[in-house]
Amino acid sequence: MKYPLFLGLLLLFCACENSMQDVKRFEGMANSSVEEATEVEMLYSDSAVVRMRLQAPLMQEDRDEKEPKRIFPDGVEVEFYGRDKQISSQLTALYAEYSEKKRFIVLQDSVVIHNSQGEQLETEELFWDERKNEIYSDKFVKVTTPTEVMQGYGFRSDIEFKNWEIDSLSGIFESSSLLKNPEF
């Protein structure tokens, strides 16, 4: 009767053995304020109407008390929906970082926005200020419309990329648009 109990305890102790490296790795994860999620899909709504859908392969959520943020190191794809529940614009970037307290997003590396009018913005860095409901950049931007290609340094728009302007503008313009807009 003593031997089966002794044998059972011996097996229990052998099964619970961990290397010090495994223990330290687990302790580091338990003390970390960063959480990770893969294959992320987030929906944002206003008055029970979906306004935005975000997808990302990886999200790291840093729960730091002073500066909580969400980091998307492998990029994001965002769809914006209009009042008609149709996609009004789409945004992609290879890196994004969202500051929860500031309600501010930094998008970097191959940032592209398409809108429903067939216009496209390309830049390497774009800022999204949720409080002001605008996006902007002070970097080089390229905007392509169905009839024109415009380039410049500096850009500002609403978040749906419908009402936009480029600073330090240069590009190829349709001649009839120059007659309509004498400010060029």
List, for residues 43-74, the tens digit of each pLDDT value.
Answer: 988 888 888 899 999 999 988 888 899 999 99
Question: Which three-class secondary structure state does DSSP give residue 164?
Answer: strand
Q: Do residues 113 and 91 make contact, with C-beta atoms less than 8 angstroms apart?
A: yes
Question: What does the angle CA 51 – CA 57 – CA 60 come to, to the nearest 5 degrees?
Answer: 90
d(CA 164, CA 157): 4
170-183 burial code (b ≥16 CB/10 A, e <16): eeebeeeeeeeeee
- Place 124 in a pLDDT band, splitting at 50, 70 and 90: very high
Question: Which three-class secondary structure state does DSSP give residue 30?
Answer: helix
CATH code linked to domain 34-180: 2.60.450.10
At residue 176, the pLDDT reads 57
pLDDT digits (tens, 9 = 90+) for 146-168: 998 999 999 999 887 888 998 88
Domain boundaries, the chain: 34-180
Nearest Cα neighbor of 127 from 88, 155, 162 is 155
At residue 15, the pLDDT reads 46
